Structure 1
Amino acid sequence: MNKKITLNIQIASKKIIFLPKKCQYLIWIRSSLMHVYQSNIKVLIRIVEKSEIKSLNYKFRQKNKATNILSFSYINDKMIDKNYIGDLIICSEIVTEEAKKKNVTLESHWAHITIHGILHLLGYNHDNLNNRIKMEYLETKIMASLNYKNPYIY
């Protein structure tokens, strides 16, 4: 079944060195959904600066630091459109810093962060060793299917 993906992208950062094209996000999202049988998916990706993601991270996770991505899943929310799986908030500054530190391409790291976020929206997490192994396996498998290197070996 061909999944229709409705993707809204909000740019709320002026500090962007690299920004994937919408078609790239769609490829990464579609690849992350291959094992899910929903037909239509809606996702919001918001690109933000460190100050905004730090504020959101504190408000929703009580962590007073900036992070690369936050995922807000709405899959089980009965008040929201059943096809709207959630929001990804991505800090372009941190993604760029991490890519440099890991010596990987910006495109590859953006792909990994997007896939990682989509898996969170689908209910995967890395809160314990077993869950982390499952999630990292899926991320690595999806990345390989897109001809990217293992994101955990750098």
Structure 2
Amino acid sequence: MQDTMTSAVTIERCSPRDPEATALITASHAFLLSKYPPEFSFALSIDDLCVPSIRFWTARIGGAARGCVALADKGDYGELKSMYVDPAARGAGIGALLVSTVIGAARDAGLPMLRLETGDDLYDAHRLYRRSGFVDCGPFGDYVEGPHSVFMERPV
């Protein structure tokens, strides 16, 4: 069944202000705030996602948005941000397709490295990122070591 669902997934560039994209981002923020104190949540707001240095995609099944991801161009590396898949659509390969989309976009942009920060107990996400070639690293950019963060990177 997963192969059938995966083949029905489409990935498209989208504005974070698209109502379905906004709903996914809002759900992601609520999920993160249910797990981590606000000072340890590094989710970008809708406005922060709508700047020229960030590209945003949604994953759709049957036309309905079921996942999202963003690529922030930091100049000498890219950062994978705002990765989220609707819990009802998990297991359909959406996460892998979104990560692959960001890797390809980073490659096309000439970014040599792709980095991310994720929650320390988001084990499914850790497995997905490791399957996609990410390895643990230390804090980067403006991040500092904290009790709830895992930092990862992979060459593009």
More helix by share: 1
Q: TM-score, normalised by structure 1?
A: 0.30
TM-score (norm 2): 0.29
Identify, as 1 or 2, the structure richer in strand: 2
